[in-house]
Amino acid sequence: MATLDGLPPLRDVIQRHGLDARKALGQNFLLDLNITQKIARTAGPLAGMTVIEVGPGPGGLTRAILALGAEKLIVIERDARCLPALAEIGEHYPGRLEVIEGDALKIDFETLVAPGTPVRIIANLPYNVGTQLLINWLLPKSWPPFWQSMTLMFQREVGLRIVATEEDDHYGRLGVLCGWRTQAHMAFDLPPQAFSPPPKVTSTVVQFEPRLQPLPCDVAQLEKVTQAAFGQRRKMLRQSLKPVGGEALLARAGIDPQRRAETLSVEEFVTLANNL
């Protein structure tokens, strides 16, 4: 793709700007532009879309998103060292790249775009903040959300937790929240060797589509129920749910008190939350 967009190879960009990946920032750079293009393509058609990317680093995925036709790309980068490299990409795609220096955990993403703007979120998320960012995007102020789809990279273990359903060893609070508000699937894995420096784990790209009409439920109540249930996941529900109503709550919801958290479907957790 370096020949497609006319920009220098990423290794040259990293060397010229002194962009060694920093563990404290959760950085693992993707240098293979074929892979970054595959991630961007997984998101679906980008022509006419506004895209938000978190943690672009030297801009490998940024370049792929712009090359595939995104009308506007907003990137949030905490590492000031990366800004000159991103500025070079912006010069190559005039008027299409907006760079925001800051901490993504402190940004109100809904204010970045005008209401009704079609938005896709595409990101190789920093490992140390990826799960929290996902939860923030799952629980915005209003639903349907401001985004039309999300294509996000996580450690594979986190990806398994995201797509897990009942009776799965990886099933927990994250699986319930994701299953309640989205349809999520793991698109493909990436080995450690795809990154610089190589992480100690396999990574995975997860594709999310919002459920436009998820089961009605109060978010705070659902979080309360799942926290209690999975906080003592090996115990029967009559014991683990004692702090939020125990057997009386289970009776109202019509759920056997001898079951355990990992056996309940998303729908049953919503029923519990609605009976709190």
Q: What integer is the mean pLDDT of 228-253? A: 95
| pTM for this prediction | 0.93
Tens-place pLDDT, residues 16-36: 988 877 777 667 788 888 999
Tens-place pLDDT, residues 149-181: 999 999 999 999 999 999 899 999 999 999 999
- The amino acid at 171: Y
Provide the greatest CA pair distance for the chain. 66
Q: What integer is the mean pLDDT of 248-252? A: 97
Q: How far apart are CA 51 and CA 62, in angstroms?
A: 10
- pLDDT at residue 91 is higher than 60: yes
User: What is the percent of the chain where pLDDT is above 90?
Assistant: 80
pLDDT score recorded for residue 4: 61
Helix (H) or strand (E) holding 77, with range, is strand 72-77
Q: How far apart are CA 230 and CA 174, in angstroms?
A: 10
pLDDT score recorded for residue 26: 67
Distances (CA, A) of 76 to 9, 17, 116: 22, 18, 21
Q: What integer is the mean pLDDT of 243-247? A: 95
In 91-193, which ranges are E strands? 97-101, 119-124, 149-155, 182-190
Which residue, chain included where needed, has tokens 């929240």? 177
Contacts of residue 70, defined as CB under 8 A and 6 or more positions apart, other chains included, come to 46, 47, 49, 50, 51, 96
**Ordered domains of the chain (ranges, CATH):** 2-210 (3.40.50.150), 219-274 (1.10.8.100)
- pLDDT at residue 2 is higher than 60: no
Between 111 and 128, whose confidence is greater? 111
